[in-house]
Amino acid sequence: MLNSSVRLMAVTISQLLWVMMVPAYASDIQALVQPCTMCHGVDGNSANSGVPSIAGITPEYFAHVMDAYKNEGRNSPMMKQFTHTLGEADIAQLAEFYGKQKFVARTQEFDAALAQKGALLHAKYCEKCHENGGRITENNYGILAGQWTPYLRQALTAYLDNTRRVNPMMITKLKLLEQEAGQDGIEQLLHFYASPH
Ligand code: HEC
Ligand code: HEC
């Protein structure tokens, strides 16, 4: 009896010491990230095709989109619900956390011939800002290469409907692409982003 309560006390003390030794930052960030994991995955690589992967995005882009969800530059009731209580310091910590995670490109079906046409359209209309075939770069504006296709399709539709606000130059290029290549062109781009390149 005495023996087991002594052991119990030893365990409690060692647990206490452990908790005290872990920097406050670690537990804060875990608590901040926890609600996001059910949709974006534990490390920001989403398993749900309607939810974007956010692993590896730059802190600048992260802060930019958080502001858009809070202030309705992007209309997503779901994301608004999870961002409206976050302060600047929380956003900075989350941005740092996701920026450090490693992005894993999704393996999705694609048609090689359509992807090839999409590559030309990307080079003509999009590469200027979404460098390196839409992969994550230092001046990253979101992930296009290896991102979930259903999410990207929905995001492009929202930009074209003006329900997602963005850099006016991007809208000009996207509308030009729609005019010149139609919905087929948009689908070709999506095949390109789904293909390993
Ligand atoms: C209930 C599911 C859900 C939860 C929980 C959630 N998200 Fe999201 N998140 C989404 C969806 C869906 C989108 C796409 C919204 C859109 O169409 O703009 C999104 C978009 C984003 C984006 C934009 C990605 C991009 O490429 O532009 C970021 C960043 C993000 N979420 C971060 C977070 C963080 C941080 C949390 C936790 C505080 C969180 N999300 C919680 C579903 C969720
Ligand atoms: C003048 C620069 C510019 C050009 C050209 C441009 N974009 Fe963008 N793009 C941006 C910026 C800035 C964002 C940041 C997102 C926001 O504010 O919603 C973005 C975001 C996106 C997103 C959202 C990514 C996400 O994770 O939610 C998609 C999809 C996208 N662009 C596709 C395209 C496509 C396709 C083209 C070519 C037709 C294109 N863009 C051309 C600047 C540009």
Distance of CA 76 from the midpoint of ligand 1 (Å): 9
CATH of domain 112-194: 1.10.760.10
Show me where the domains of the chain are located: 23-100, 112-194
pLDDT tens, position by position, for the chain (197 residues)? 445 555 545 545 545 444 444 444 556 899 999 999 999 999 999 999 999 999 999 999 999 999 999 988 898 989 999 998 999 999 999 999 999 999 999 999 999 999 999 999 999 999 999 999 999 888 778 999 999 999 999 999 999 999 898 889 999 999 999 999 999 999 999 999 999 98
**33 torsion bin: left (phi>0), alpha (psi -120 to 50), beta (else):** alpha
Q: Which DSSP category does 171 fall into?
A: H
Interval between CA 80 and ligand 1 midpoint (Å): 9
Nearest ligand 2 atom, CA 126: 37
Whole-number pLDDT of residue 18: 45
Look at ligand 1, atom 11, and give the residue with the nearest C-alpha.
Answer: 51
Domains 23-100 and 112-194 share a fold: yes
Lining ligand 2 with CB less than 6 A are: 52, 68, 125-126, 128-130, 141-144, 152, 155-156, 164, 166-167, 169-170, 173-174, 177, 189
Considering only CA atoms, which of 151, 137, 164 is closest in space to residue 193? 151
User: Hey, which of 82, 86, 96, 141 would you mutate to test ligand 1's pocket, going by the most ligand atoms within 8 Å of its Cβ?
Assistant: 82
Packing angle, helices 88-100 and 24-40, rounded to 10: 70
The ligand minimizing its distance to the Cα of 29 is 1
d(CA 64, CA 68): 6
Q: What is the DSSP letter of 52?
A: -
pTM: 0.89
Q: Which of 154, 170, 179 to mutate to test the pocket of ligand 2 (most atoms within 8 A of CB)?
A: 170
What CATH number labels 23-100?
Answer: 1.10.760.10
CA angle 70, 71, 76 (to 5 degrees): 60
Which stretches of the chain are DSSP H helices?
2-21, 24-40, 59-70, 77-83, 88-100, 112-121, 131-134, 149-160, 168-194
* Ligand 1 contact via 35 beta carbon (within 6 Å): yes
Cα 20 to ligand 2 centre (Å): 44
Q: Which of 130, 131, 136 has most ligand 2 atoms within 8 Å of its beta carbon, as the pocket-test mutant?
A: 130
